[in-house]
């Protein structure tokens, strides 16, 4: 095909359509990842109670959760394998994240055997499950970050932050269940529960900002249920207990049921978000297909009636700019007062419409990208502090929060500064913050 304006415009629209179809396939991947996270969260919670109670509680429940994971894991492995095909368009980063997930999935059998044999502690088991789930969450963030359609990107930002909030809720369920089942309050685990509650609130705030109004309304209503009130009461009993104080071990099952109900509500919201994502993708595919057909018809007419295009300059430049430009040729008298007429005008309008739409999309995408960028920088800063100073995740985040408040700066600004500082510059401040 010889180079022409029409061939370039049509190819641009074809690429736009291919991109949306490609995204529709990625939504299926995100859906299955979300399902596996949900199943693994249940297995993690049941395992924590089973181990903390020395096998006296949740033996059958734990086995049921293991069986529920198997078919979802198999489906995800199939989708991962499909991403190896060149036409799938998977990036090197995406395949690398998948490799880490598969590595942790392969290690599950050994962890389960250790659980049955009681050769692993509840804390170690919860950490192993959490590492696997963190890899799955990171993969969802990568898919969202690579999305190039504003409406769909906003919903994906809502989705990934709800997934992140739900994972914090899942860890809260596991740690709290472990605390109750052990019958004794551990200060370290108590602080972890407090940190996880705070982490949920941060993620859910972003979810509320980016989700659509209908789902936001449903979510806010869920916060007023009796189950949520009972969860708050149980949280208070954990968070206000003195270190070493006795806890009612029988409440481990109540805790598990109440926190599971909340996580189930989050899962319902994720299902609704996936439905909305698929609906928006399908609608966008239909609209783009129609747009492509309309463009093909217009360009076919243009090819049959070549345009006089020299007058198009006044559609792109103002009068002052035109007066300074050299005159290349003059327009026929009949066109001087009608720059918007004729086949040339139709082509210009097509180009302008496409440019304006792409410009609007880029502006809307910037908002979604900023939310994802902020999360990435904060996570990297936490990781840097954990690596440099040997802090736990909670200690690293508290250090960032304290620096943010002390210097009256945004958390993002503090995180960026942390990544830029040499090891010693932040050390004294962090040590001070973690002592309180």
Statement: residue 154 has pLDDT above 50: yes
Statement: residue 113 has pLDDT above 90: yes
Q: Read off the pLDDT of residues 206-247 as tens digits, 9 standing for 90 and up.
A: 999 989 999 999 999 999 999 999 999 999 988 888 888 898
377 and 256 co-located in one domain:
no
If one counts the domains in the chain, the total is 2
266 and 394 co-located in one domain:
no
Which of 208, 241, 273 corresponds to the end of one domain?
273
Assess if residue 188 is contained within a domain. yes
367 and 260 co-located in one domain:
no
Which residues are bridge partners to 246 per DSSP? 184
373 and 254 co-located in one domain:
no
Q: Could you tell me the residue range of the domain that residue 396 belongs to? A: 358-434
Q: Read off the pLDDT of residues 243-260 as tens digits, 9 standing for 90 and up.
A: 888 988 889 889 989 999
Q: What is the CATH number of the domain that holds 401?
A: 1.10.10.10
Assess if residue 107 is contained within a domain. yes
241 and 389 co-located in one domain:
no
185 and 60 co-located in one domain:
yes
219 and 125 co-located in one domain:
yes
102 and 250 co-located in one domain:
yes
42 and 150 co-located in one domain:
yes
pLDDT of residue 425: 46
- Contacts of residue 347, defined as CB under 8 A and 6 or more positions apart, other chains included, come to 5, 6, 9, 298, 299, 302, 307, 309
254 and 378 co-located in one domain:
no
Q: What is the pTM of this model?
A: 0.69
131 and 262 co-located in one domain:
yes
- Contacts of residue 332, defined as CB under 8 A and 6 or more positions apart, other chains included, come to 308
What is the C-alpha separation between 255 and 250, in angstroms, rounded? 9
Q: Read off the pLDDT of residues 312-339 as tens digits, 9 standing for 90 and up.
A: 444 444 555 445 544 433 334 443 344 4
134 and 237 co-located in one domain:
yes
Assess if residue 320 is contained within a domain. no
Assess if residue 342 is contained within a domain. no
Q: What does 140-192 look like in DSSP terms, one character per residue? A: HHHHHHT---HHHHHHHHHHHHHHHHHHHHHHHHHHHHHHHHHTB--HHHHHH
């Amino acid at each position: 095909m010889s180079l022409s304006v029409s061939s370039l415009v049509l190819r641009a629209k074809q690429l736009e359509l291919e991109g949306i179809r490609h995204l529709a396939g990625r939504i299926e991947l995100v859906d299955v990842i979300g399902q596996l996270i949900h199943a693994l969260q249940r297995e993690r919670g049941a395992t924590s109670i089973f181990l903390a109670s020395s096998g006296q509680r949740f033996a059958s429940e734990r086995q049921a959760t293991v069986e529920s994971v198997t078919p979802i894991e198999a489906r995800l492995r199939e989708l991962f394998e499909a991403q190896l095909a060149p036409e799938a368009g998977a990036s090197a980063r995406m395949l690398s994240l998948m490799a880490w997930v598969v590595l942790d999935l392969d290690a599950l059998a050994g962890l389960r055997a250790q659980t049955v044999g009681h050769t692993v502690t509840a804390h170690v088991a919860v950490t192993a499950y959490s590492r696997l789930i963190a890899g799955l969450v990171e993969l969802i963030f990568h898919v969202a970050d690579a999305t190039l359609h504003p409406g769909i990107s906003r919903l994906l930002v809502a989705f990934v932050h709800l997934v992140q909030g739900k994972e914090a809720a899942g860890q809260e369920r596991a740690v709290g269940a472990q605390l109750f089942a052990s019958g004794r309050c551990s200060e370290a685990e108590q602080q972890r529960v407090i940190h996880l509650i705070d982490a949920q609130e941060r993620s859910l705030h972003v979810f509320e900002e980016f989700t659509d109004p209908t789902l936001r309304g449903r979510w806010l209503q869920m916060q007023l249920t009796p189950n949520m009130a009972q969860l708050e009461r149980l949280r208070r009993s954990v968070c206000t207990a003195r270190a070493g104080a006795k806890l009612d071990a029988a409440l481990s099952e109540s805790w598990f049921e109440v926190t599971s109900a909340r996580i189930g509500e989050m899962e319902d919201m994720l299902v609704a978000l996936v439905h909305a994502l698929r609906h928006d993708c399908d609608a966008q595919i239909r609209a783009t297909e129609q747009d492509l057909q309309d463009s093909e018809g217009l360009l076919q007419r243009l090819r049959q009636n070549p345009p006089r295009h020299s007058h198009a300059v006044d559609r792109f430049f103002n009068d002052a700019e035109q007066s300074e430009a050299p005159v290349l040729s003059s327009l026929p008298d009949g066109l001087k007062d009608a720059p918007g007429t004729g086949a040339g005008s139709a082509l210009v309008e097509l180009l302008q419409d496409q440019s304006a739409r792409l410009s609007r999309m880029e502006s809307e995408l910037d908002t979604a990208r900023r939310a994802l960028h902020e999360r990435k920088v904060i996570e990297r800063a936490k990781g840097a502090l954990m690596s440099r100073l040997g802090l736990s995740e909670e200690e690293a985040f508290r250090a960032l929060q304290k620096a943010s408040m002390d210097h009256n700066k945004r958390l993002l600004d503090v995180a960026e500064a942390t990544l830029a500082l040499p090891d010693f510059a932040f050390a004294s401040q962090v040590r001070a913050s973690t002592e309180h």
